[in-house]
Amino acid sequence: MTSFMKELKPGSLEDIIAGISLFRPGPMEQIPRYLEFKNNPSKAIYHHELLKPILDVTYGCMVYQEQVMRIVQDVGGYTLGGADKVRRIMSKKKVKQMEEERGKFIAGAIERNVPPKTASTIFDEMMDFASYAFNKSHAAAYAVVAYQTAFFKTYYPVEFMAATLNSFMGSTDRISLYILECRRLGIKVLAPDINTGNVRFSVKGKDILFGFAAIKNVGSRAAEQIVEERQREGAYNSFIDFAKRVSGLGINKKCIESLIKCGAFDELGINRRMLVSSFEGILDSINKERRSNIDGQMNLFDSTPVQSAKESYSFPDIEEFDKDRLLAMEKELLGIYVSGNPLDEYEKIIMDCANFFSTSKNADLTSPSNVFHDGKAVTCAGMFRKITRKVTRNNNMMAFAELEDLYGSMELIVFPNVLDKYSALVTEDSKILVKGKLSIREDEEIKVICDEISPLLPNNKKTEKVFATNTRQNDSGTTRRIDKVYINAGAVDMNRLMSALRFFSPGSIPVILRKNQNGSRLEKHLDRSLYIPDDNEIISELTELTGEGNIYFMVNDK
C-alpha cells in the first residue's frame, strides 16, 4: 500500500478514497489504468457521455458500488431500489438473474439514445467489476482517518506514537508492534522512571516515557497516586523517600516490586537486585513506624534526632542482575523489552528469513487480500518460551510452545515425529528458525505446526539459504532452493508486474529486474517490500505473468 500511494501521489481526498478501494485483489487489476488516466486525464475512456459525470472522479474507471448503481439508474432507467437490486445480483454472480437484467438494462438504455452494443459493453463491464466494487462511503471514512493520522504522524510523530500506544494500553502485542515502529522512526521509548513517568505514555522532548499504568501489577489507581504525590511534594530523592511518602496510600508490595524490576527506580542510584532483596523489610519497617505514630505510642527513639534515609536503612552490597535476567523482568512486567532484546543480534537474519511474524496472526482472514490460509507453508524465527509437553493417545510425546519474535509471541505445535528429531532444540530460551504450516481454525488464534527446526545463528548465511524458500528436486534428486528471482524488465508489462509483486509480498526472496541497454546489462534490486514468499503457487503465477524465458531463479543445491 505504501508503494502504491507513492505511485498514486494523492492530491485530494478523492484520490485516497480511490486508492483504498482499488488496493484489493479484484480492483487491483485497474490500478495501472487508473494511474495512467490520473496522470493523463485526457486519455480517460468513457463508453458514453452519460458515464462521464459518474466516472470522471475516478478517471473513467469503475471503482465504487455507488457508481454501478448510478450507471444502472442514469443509463438503464432503473429506480434507486431497482439499481440496488441489480448491484446485489451482480455482487453474488447470479448468472440467470443477471441475464434477465441485461435485457431490461439495454432496453432502458436505448430509450436514452444509448446504442445497444454500447449498452451491452457497459453492462459487461459492470458485471466484471460489481463483485469487487467497494462501498465509497465506507472507503471515505477510512480515507479521512488515514489523512488525519498521516498528518499527525508526519508533523507530530512523537505525540502521535504516544497517543497510539495509549490507545492499545491493554494489548501487549499491539504495544510491542508500535514500540518497534517508534524505533524505526528514531523515537526512543524510555523505561519507566519514578520521577518523570506519568500514568499513561507521555512525551519528553523527542522521547516517549513508558506509562506506569501499562506496567503489570501497577494499575491506574496506584499510578495516579504515585504521580499525584510527586506533583504535590516534589521528586522522590531516594527509594526510602518514596516508600515513606506512599506508605498508607494502599499501594501494595506487588506493585512496588514490579516498579523495581522494570527499572523505575534505576535513576535513584541503587541497582534492582539490591532493591529486590531488601524492599519488603524496608516497607515493613516504615509501615510499622507509621502505625506506631498514628496510635500515639512512644518508643525509645522519640527524643533522638531524625536520621536520614541512608543512615536509617542499608542495602546489601551485591552486583546487579545479569543482562538476560534484567530483560526477562522487563518482558514479564512491561510486555516488551525496553533496554534491549535477547534477539537484537539476530534481527537481520530474522527479517531476511522469516515470512510469518506474531503480528501476522492478527490478519483479517475474511479479507480477499489476505495471503494466509490453513496449511500455508511459512517460516518463522525467534526464541522458545513456555514449552508444555503432552503425552498423546499413542503414548508419544508432543509439545506446545510459545515462540517469541521481534514483535510478540505465537503458538507452535510440535508433533511427536518432529519433537523426536529436534528435541535438543525444543528448550526454553532456544533461538531457532522454524519451517512449518499454518493451522487456522474458527474462533482460534492462528498456530504454526512445526515441520523443521534449525538453530538461529547470528549472521549465518547458510541458515538463511536453507530456510529461504520451498524445496525442489533437480534432475539428480538433490534438493534445490531459490535464493533470488530475476525478471527481464524489457519484456514484461511493468504495471501488471508491480501490482502482482505488491499483492504477493511480503516475503523473503529478493526480486531483481534486468534490462539490456546500449550493450550493457542493467540490474535494479527492488525494495524489500516487494520480496516474494516461498510459495509454489506464487512462483507459478509469477512465471505465467511474465512469460517463459523472462524469469529465472538462482538456486542452490543442498
What CATH number corresponds to the domain at position 207? 1.10.150
**112 and 19 both lie in a single domain:** yes
Among 70, 105, 139, give the residue marking a domain's end.
139
Range of the domain at 23: 2-139
CA distances from 6 to 35, 63, 132, 181 (A): 11, 20, 23, 20
**358 and 477 both lie in a single domain:** no
DSSP states along 462-496: HHHHHTSS-EEE-TTS-EEEEEEEEEETTSS-HHH
CA distances from 440 to 46, 287, 372, 403, 445 (A): 44, 53, 9, 17, 7
**413 and 510 both lie in a single domain:** no
Query: Nearest Cα to 469, choosing from 413, 439, 507, 511?
Result: 507
Q: Output the pLDDT for position 309.
A: 41
**190 and 312 both lie in a single domain:** yes
Other CB atoms within 10 Å distance of the CB of residue 340: 13
Q: Output the pLDDT for position 416.
A: 93
Write the CB contacts of 349 (distance below 8 Å, at least 6 apart in sequence): 381, 456, 457, 458, 459, 460, 463, 464
For residue 382, which phi and psi values (nearest 5 degrees)?
165, -140
Q: Output the pLDDT for position 397.
A: 93
Alpha-carbon dihedral sign for residues 406, 410, 415, 420: positive
For residue 94, which phi and psi values (nearest 5 degrees)?
-85, 95
Residue 151 lies in a domain: no
User: How many structural domains compose the chain?
Assistant: 4
Pairing state between β 431-439 and 447-455: antiparallel
Cell readout for 435 is: 519451517
**195 and 116 both lie in a single domain:** no
Give the whole-angstrom CA distance, residue 150 versus residue 490: 36
**194 and 51 both lie in a single domain:** no
Residue 459 lies in a domain: yes
Cell readout for 235 is: 521528586
**374 and 316 both lie in a single domain:** no
Specify the 3-state DSSP secondary structure of 456: coil
Cell readout for 291 is: 502505625
* 8 A C-beta contact, residue 158 and residue 87: no
H-only helix segments in 75-155 = 80-91, 95-111, 116-130, 136-155
Q: Output the pLDDT for position 503.
A: 77
Helix or strand run (H / E) with residue 450: strand 447-455
Give the whole-angstrom CA distance, residue 558 versus residue 50: 62
Q: Tens digits of per-residue pLDDT, 480-497?
A: 567 788 888 878 888 788
Give the whole-angstrom CA distance, residue 106 versus residue 94: 18
For residue 73, which phi and psi values (nearest 5 degrees)?
-75, -55
Specify the 3-state DSSP secondary structure of 178: helix
Residue 145 lies in a domain: no
**262 and 293 both lie in a single domain:** yes
**106 and 129 both lie in a single domain:** yes
**303 and 225 both lie in a single domain:** yes
**272 and 380 both lie in a single domain:** no
* 8 A C-beta contact, residue 175 and residue 164: no
**32 and 125 both lie in a single domain:** yes
Other CB atoms within 10 Å distance of the CB of residue 404: 23
Q: How many residues does the chain have?
A: 558
Point out the residues of the chain with pLDDT beneath 70. 26, 130-131, 294-312, 361-371, 459-481, 516-521, 548-549, 555-558
Q: Tens digits of per-residue pLDDT, 103-157?
A: 899 999 999 999 999 999 998 888 777 667 778 999 999 999 999 999 999 999 9
> Burial letters for 154-166: b for 16+ Cβ neighbours within 10 Å, e otherwise?
eeebbebbbebbb
Other CB atoms within 10 Å distance of the CB of residue 199: 21
Residue 339 lies in a domain: no
Interior CA angle at 188 toward 185 and 193, to 5°? 160
CA distances from 61 to 105, 106, 516 (A): 20, 21, 34
Query: Which amino acid, one-letter code, is at 331?
Result: K
Pairing state between β 409-414 and 511-517: unpaired
Among 107, 139, 171, give the residue marking a domain's end.
139
Residue 395 lies in a domain: yes
Give the whole-angstrom CA distance, residue 399 versus residue 417: 11
Give the whole-angstrom CA distance, residue 445 versus residue 440: 7
Residue 457 lies in a domain: yes
Cis omega (within 30 of 0) on the bond before 506? yes
- Kindly give the interhelix angle for 136-155 and 13-22, rounded to the nearest 10 degrees: 110
Residue 549 lies in a domain: yes
Give the whole-angstrom CA distance, residue 508 versus residue 354: 7
* 8 A C-beta contact, residue 339 and residue 263: yes
Residue 147 lies in a domain: no
For residue 115, which phi and psi values (nearest 5 degrees)?
-55, 145
Among 434, 464, 494, give the residue marking a domain's end.
464
Interior CA angle at 321 toward 315 and 325, to 5°? 140
